[in-house]
Amino acid sequence: MADRDFDLFVIGAGSGGVRAARISARHGARVAICEESRYGGTCVIRGCVPKKLLAYGSAFRDAFEDARGFGWDAHVPKFDWPTLIGAKDREIARLEGIYRRLLTDAGVTPIEGRGRLVDAHTVEVAGRRYTTDKVLIATGGWPTVPQIPGREHAITSNEALDLPALPRRVVIVGGGFVAVEFAGIFNSLGSETTMLVRGEQLLRGFDDDARIEMAREMTARGITIHTRTKPQAIGGDQRGYCVRTTLDQEVDCDQILFATGRQPNTAGIGLEAAGVELGEGGAVKVDEWSRTSVDNIFAVGDVTDRINLTPVAIAEGHAFADTQFAGRPRAVDHRNVPSAVFGQPPLAAVGLTEAQARAEFGEIDIYRTRFRPMKHTLSGREERTMMKLVVDARTDRVLGAHMVGADAPEIIQGLAIAITAGATKAHFDRTIGIHPTAAEEFVTMRERVPPAVKVAAE
């Protein structure tokens, strides 16, 4: 509306908010965006991008060790943590600059500071109020730390990316993808790494075979995994800490990292005052069009706690912009969203797990293989790769694909297209493989896994 300052005001300049702001502006809307921290949000500044850069850096230890089997007179050289962190920081600063330029080039008005809703059409930032027709909440999530004695000694994934020195001994609390990824990084860089997992197994929500395989490989690499336990208290000082668990274990370490989940970042931004309904854990409740309980207020990304992945937030932000400002209504399909855990080795999946497929479709067929990759026949490494297809026995449609092993995320991304398109096992079988590759195993699996009674890991 012309009598308001903006057509759209976006609170939060992470991946979802930036995409929504930029596309809305290109559709002709008058757009403002506010951010109290750095542009780029969780993914670019304190999440998947810096974490994967550290994972790349830590993977060189394997490369140096494996080279000997191929004739190289190689040794593992000295590693310098500050050099890696400095290189990471420079890349993150470069990416943040790109995000800022994308917004200004599109005509978006950037406003520095924390945004707060005064009412459904007014946002206050740094003491100044702006009126707007529509509001988009894209404030993401924030790591949580349980309320236990000594919690002040612990860090989260935010601080883990900027440690001044590599810890000699580290305890990682949690069994999700963030915990698994940091365990791989620290272990590969030489830290003595222990994981405390509340459930029966790592990576709740992923396929059980993949979870078991991941735990097997991580243990083989020297990571200690304690399941069915969690910290009870943390003692010590800067010279060292002791974590006491609910199983009366005592684990000494130099650093404690809590990777126990994230909560939607909704506190103190005026949502309740504006009448926006919140769900469990403070998540903003939205419909399929990302609309909240207030007609002109929308939300995308992790703050809605739907699927907390950067590409999902970007897709939601783009769909919102097209729907509201381009006259092209479309909602995001949250089915068959591929995901990856950049552990060592990595895990990736798309579609339904075996347990989910059995619950939804009843009769299913399972195809699974486990093998030693060709590379390791010379490197001498004992690492294995696991691949699995979940198939609807009645229609032959492939319901899920799961992989643990080198290049799993790159391979599963391609399979996600096939599964989204409704490919059948017959389509997979008719596809000629590229030889010799690991990926060809997905089109050469012919033997069904015999039916068996399984107990799902929790």
| Enzyme catalytic residues | 435
8 A C-beta contact, residue 340 and residue 412: yes
The sheet carrying 224-226 orders its strands as 224-226, 192-196, 169-173, 255-258
8 A C-beta contact, residue 58 and residue 181: no
Query: In terms of Cα–Cα distance, which of 11, 89, 82 is closest to 45?
Result: 89
Residue 227, classified by CB atoms within 10 Å of its CB into exposed (0-12), middle (13-18) or buried (19+), is middle
Q: Which residues pair with 125 in a beta bridge?
A: 115, 128
- 107 DSSP assignment: T
Q: Which residues pair with 250 in a beta bridge?
A: 244
Q: Three-state DSSP class for 7?
A: strand
Tokens of 284: 């903003």
First-to-last C-alpha distance (Å) of the chain: 51
Cα gap 331→207, rounded to integer Å: 27
Residue 211: C-alpha distances to residues 169, 218, 229, 343 (Å): 24, 11, 17, 12
Cα gap 393→387, rounded to integer Å: 19
Query: In terms of Cα–Cα distance, which of 16, 9, 110, 61 is closest to 309?
Result: 16
Tokens of 31: 């757009």
Query: In terms of Cα–Cα distance, which of 238, 212, 236 is closest to 225?
Result: 212
Cα gap 79→261, rounded to integer Å: 30
